[in-house]
Structures are given as structure tokens and as C-alpha cells.
Amino acid sequence: MASDTGSSKNDWAGIVKWLVIGLVTITALFLFKGEIGGVLERAENIEISSSGLKIKTTQTLLGQVEVSGVKLKASNVIGTGIQGNSYVSPVHNFQIAWSGNGNWSASDTEGRLLMQQLGLPASVDIPLVIRMNEMVGNFYPNVNVAVESIGGISANDYINLSAQTLQAQGWQILTKEVDDSTQGGFISFYNTSNNAKLYQFQRVVIDSGKAFIITASQLPLDDYTSQQLREELLFILNSFRIINHIDQA
């Protein structure tokens, strides 16, 4: 793990580089039929209160995505690994869930194969891949969780560096939000190469010297199936929680 004082912003470029390349390979990219202009007009930040906790959200093509990095008390978590339609990481201390309707499957081994194929450094881990059981169009919708050891980099710096690197590589930033108070962030971006609009949606949570990157992919044409899929992808993104082993009274 990098030290808090031994890394410079220039050193972080490698983090974003593998992330962008890895996501193109791991999740592929997907086509969205709608126009970007309308989405930009609707994009806004709001705060909602749930059980006394304020959670910052942002409007996206999927719906309201959480920006904040919310923590879950360890005393409220039972077991580890894949359990039904949820996963608890015994190594990285996070929990994530997906729809229990039988449409999705999760693997805690597929990420290792992807890491080997991509030649990712030891500072990177892909502990979970959640994949839809049936293809939509010619692609399996999926959500991946990647974890990067980053030392003392803040969410704001991480998101800004990601945006700068993506733009330098020809991507257009659609949404970029940060919640400094909880070290959470969100970024979505697209590329119009190959005459198609290609998108990625990422939640980023910084905790204990690690960046947790949760990426949803696949947004099919506008129909009933598309709407259901959006809701399920949104549910997965918003279900991510860091597990806090220092429970507060």
C-alpha cells in the first residue's frame, strides 16, 4: 500500500490508466439511445435524510445514484462471501446486494481471472463480478467491484484525476460529484467513437487507504425491459456499503 506522504498526483495516473483500460475489457461498454442534453438539464445534487443520516445523491440515466460513502455497522452483518443475493467481503470489508428475482448471479473468482488477463498490479483486486443470467441485446449486463490501494488520496482528488485522465483519452464527462464528508464520489462518462454513445457509471468510495470502484454497465434501448434493468442496476449501485468494525453506540 502506498504511504500517505510518498505519492504524488503524477504517480496516481497509473491507477486511473489501468482502471479505464480494465473497465473497457471487463465490463465492455454499452449503447444508450437517449440524448445527453436532456440528461444534463436534469442533473442535480440533492440531499435526503434516512434514519438521521444525510445521503448525497445525483440524478443519472439510471436514476438517483448515491454519492455518499455510507457505512454499515459490523454487528448488523452476518456471515461472509456470497449469501443468496448479497455478498460480504471478508478481506475488504464491504457489502453489496442484487435483485433476488433470479436474474443475476455473482462470482468471487471471475475477478481473479480478469486480473491475470489484464496484468493488473498487486495493489488492485476485483473481488466480485455480478452478471445478469441472460443477454440483453448482445451483451450480459453486469456490475463489478474493484479495489485499489491508494494511501492518502482523497475522494475529491481521485475523482478529479479520473476525470482529467478520461478527458485526455477522449472521453466526455457526463456527471462528476463528490461528498467530502463521507469520502464518496460518482462519475459517469461516454465516448462517441464507432458512431455510438458509450457509457460507464461508477460509484467511488474511499476508506482506509483504499478506493472502492463499483461500475455498472449496459443500458439497452428504451422499452419495458430497459426500465426494469435500470432499476436493478441502480439497486446494486446504491446497495454498496463499507462495513464499520468500530461500531458506534
How far, in Å, CA of 119 to CA of 113, rounded?
Answer: 10
Residues 6+ apart with CB under 8 A from 143: 96, 98, 129, 130, 214, 215, 216, 217, 233, 236, 237
The beta-strand segments (E) located in 67-123 are: 71-73, 81-83, 86-88, 94-97, 104-107
SS3 (DSSP) at 209 = coil
In a domain, 68, yes or no: yes
What pLDDT does 45 receive?
59
Locate 128 and state its grid cell: 466480485
In a domain, 206, yes or no: yes
Tens digits of per-residue pLDDT, 146-172? 999 999 999 999 999 888 888 887 788
Burial of 200 (0-12, 13-18, 19+ CB in 10 A): buried
Is residue 164 in some structural domain? yes
| Residues 20 and 165 sit within 8 Å (Cβ to Cβ) | yes
pLDDT of residue 197: 57
Q: CB–CB of 212/248 below 8 Å?
A: no
Predicted pLDDT of residue 47: 58
Q: Does a structural domain hold residue 92?
A: no
Asked whether 111 and 119 are in contact (CB, 8 A), the reply is no
Quote the strand ranges of 5-83, DSSP E: 30-31, 45-50, 53-60, 63-66, 71-73, 81-83
More confident residue, 100 or 249: 100
Q: What percentage of the chain has pLDDT greater than the value 70?
A: 70
30 inside domain: yes
Question: Which pLDDT does position 172 carry in this prediction?
Answer: 83
Task: Catalogue the E-assigned strands of 180-240.
Answer: 184-191, 198-207, 210-217
Q: Is residue 91 part of a domain?
A: no
Q: Is the dihedral of CA 13, 16, 18, 24 positive or negative?
A: negative
Q: For position 171, what pLDDT does the model report? A: 81
Query: DSSP class of residue 139?
Result: B
User: Residue 34's domain spans which residues?
Assistant: 9-72+101-238
Q: Is residue 113 part of a domain?
A: yes
163 vs 186, residue with greater confidence: 186
CA distance readout (Å), 178 to 61, 127, 146, 149, 158: 18, 24, 19, 19, 10
Helices (H), 55-154: 110-118
Domain count, the chain: 1
**Does 32 score more than 50 pLDDT?**
no
Question: Which H/E stretch holds residue 128?
Answer: strand 124-132
Alpha carbon distances (Å) from 55 to 141, 189, 193, 225: 27, 22, 35, 29
Task: Say whether pLDDT at 10 is over 90.
Answer: no
Beta-bridged to residue 31, according to DSSP, are 198
Helix (H) or strand (E) holding 145: strand 142-149
